[in-house]
Amino acid sequence: MLTSIISFLGASILLTISPGPDNMYVLVQGITHGKKAGITLTIGLVSGIIVHTSLVAFGISALIQSSSILYYAIQYFGVFYLLYLAYKVYKSNSKLKIEANEIPKMSSTQLLKRGVLMNVLNPKVTLFFLALLPGFLWNYEENTVLQFYVLGGVFIVQAFLIFSTIAWFADYINQFLTKKNIDFKYFNYLQIVTFISIAVFILFF
């Protein structure tokens, strides 16, 4: 159990710190409207993760309990999906622009709603959790719903801490990222290695 949680935590941290639309949006809000705006947006984003965790937990748990074959089918789906994501990152543009002046100022309520909607209405997040979480269950014969929520909780806590840190140090982070028109290919490589490493872990451990 502890080994699975620690491994999942490590994978989650690597995924969260890799530049993507969510942490870049938090960064821009922090730059333009202060750390409070970035942290408020973060609360909305991580709240949406509860919905995706619930969809995976109750939907997949029923399948796993009905057939071990389905469990392995889901596991292999996760491996192939993660490898697909690695390929997509490899083919993507390594340049990333931070257009802070294009981000309108919103109230705290609006930021919370925006964060939740950004997360909940993105089907790719559910698909990603479907690929990621089942591979880190420590015993599919026990209460899998509880295990999914434990993993989901781990992801939420680390994402909140990292995104809040980004919001807090937004100005310094922005200066670092934009200095000399930094090439993001190295961050892309980090994402590729992370996706492949998680796929290997799911497949062989």
| pLDDT tens figures, 18-29 | 777 788 788 888
Q: Tell me the C-alpha distance between 25 and 85, whole Å.
A: 21
Query: For 84-139, how does the pLDDT look when each residue is reduced to its tens digit (9 = 90+)?
Result: 888 887 887 655 555 555 556 788 999 999 889 888 877 677 778 888 898 899 98
Which residues of 48-150 form beta strands (DSSP E)? Answer: none
**Structure token pair of residue 155:** 């992801």
Confidence of residue 187 (pLDDT cuts 50, 70, 90): low
Calculate the average pLDDT of the chain.
82
Q: Which pLDDT belongs to residue 21?
A: 72
Query: For 4-20, how does the pLDDT look when each residue is reduced to its tens digit (9 = 90+)?
Result: 999 999 989 988 887 77
Q: Which pLDDT belongs to residue 178?
A: 66
SS3 143: coil
